[in-house]
Amino acid sequence: MSRWVRQHIGQMKGYAPGFQPASGHVTKLNTNENPYAPSTAVLKALSSVDADALRKYPPPLADGFRDVAAQVHGVERANVIATNGGDELLRLVVTTFVEPGRPIGVLDPSYSLYPVLAELHGSPIVSVEMSSDWSIPRDFAERMNDAGASLVMVVNPHAPSGALTEIDALETLASRLNAVLLIDEAYVDFVDPEREHDLVPMIRRFDNVILLRSLSKGYSLAGLRFGYGLAPESLIEPMLTKTRDSYNVDSIAQRLATAALESRADARRSWSLVRAERERVRSGLQALDFDVPPSQSNFVLCTVPGGRQAAEALLSALEREEIFVRHFGAPRIADKLRITIGTPSQNDRLLLAIAQWHRGRSIDS
């Protein structure tokens, strides 16, 4: 390590992304990508990019996109900020609302980038373990307040379980917190429509709530790196005018993201397909004696019979078949695999491989 690197940077662990196989002929179910193509409107917008769009700087505030997002969500342009992926919004929230050294609150387990951003900022993480049913503990707000947290980050639907915290519980949390509440809705597009889950009204009722949205999952644009935030103007304005990088979202990304939101009907079809396959995969795994809680995301978290060693053995067996899923080493989820929902044929291949592994293991035992 170079002597010029800050000491705590040299000692910290960075974010570990999911494995990205070089071959395209694999069943890749490890990074929660949408298995379906972006809308035709997005592809048309991509093909129409001209050289002049590359020569010039992009619109600095992405106002065209912000106007469309505001219309989609029934808010004002001033309530929207466009970011280079949802991760940039997370970094902006930390930089803007947390004094270095002040605590940041999270649930455990959660998105592993949260503690990395906190450590980069010089802020301790205050972590509270989720309840056994993957719900937020009732005393979570009080524990965050007692710890002096300036920012609390909650992913909903939860990763890696897929559990959904209902609106009333999040409203209660926001009302009790003496901190900014960032609700990471990266997977919200896959929530069952009949649940009528919409947190946008919260940004009108609470002055401390920021909603993170991403086009990576629901809109099949993980390669684009485009996200946005919805919040009261008082929270958007300092990020937009002070802590955001200049020209943070490029011209092509702005065009494609705008086209994606304008063609939501195409995206909704993919959400419906994913939801149907999610239930089929869950039922298939349960038939093989895996414990799989209900999910409102585009993945499921399954407990592998036999504990951590069995989970690691199954992970390796699937990799030999070029089927990639995700395993996390944290104690509470060490015996579990997170599986992204793929196309029907990908899911068939997955379930067949798991059934064969399960059958072979049963014979061996």
3-class SS of residue 17: coil
What's the CATH number for 40-262?
3.40.640.10
pLDDT-based confidence at residue 345 (cuts at 50, 70, 90): very high
pLDDT in tens, 305-333: 999 999 999 999 999 999 999 999 888 99
Give the CA angle between residues 67, 208, 203 to the nearest 5°. Answer: 40
How does DSSP classify residue 62? -
* Arithmetic mean of pLDDT over the chain: 95
Residues 6+ apart with CB under 8 A from 123: 94, 98, 100, 101, 102, 103, 104, 150
Spatial contact of 170 and 135, defined as CB atoms under 8 Å apart: no
Every domain of the chain with CATH number 3.40.640.10 lies at: 40-262
CA distance 184 to 358: 35
CA distance 114 to 105: 9
Mean per-residue pLDDT, 185-197 = 97
pLDDT-based confidence at residue 10 (cuts at 50, 70, 90): confident
pLDDT at 6 exceeding the cut of 80: no
Every domain of the chain with CATH number 3.90.1150.10 lies at: 18-37+265-364
What pLDDT is recorded for position 362?
A: 60
What's the CATH number for 18-37+265-364?
3.90.1150.10
Q: DSSP letters along 282-318, please?
A: HHHHHTTT-B----SSSEEEEEPTTHHHHHHHHHHHH
pLDDT at 115 exceeding the cut of 70: yes
Mean per-residue pLDDT, 282-301 = 97
What pLDDT is recorded for position 360?
A: 82
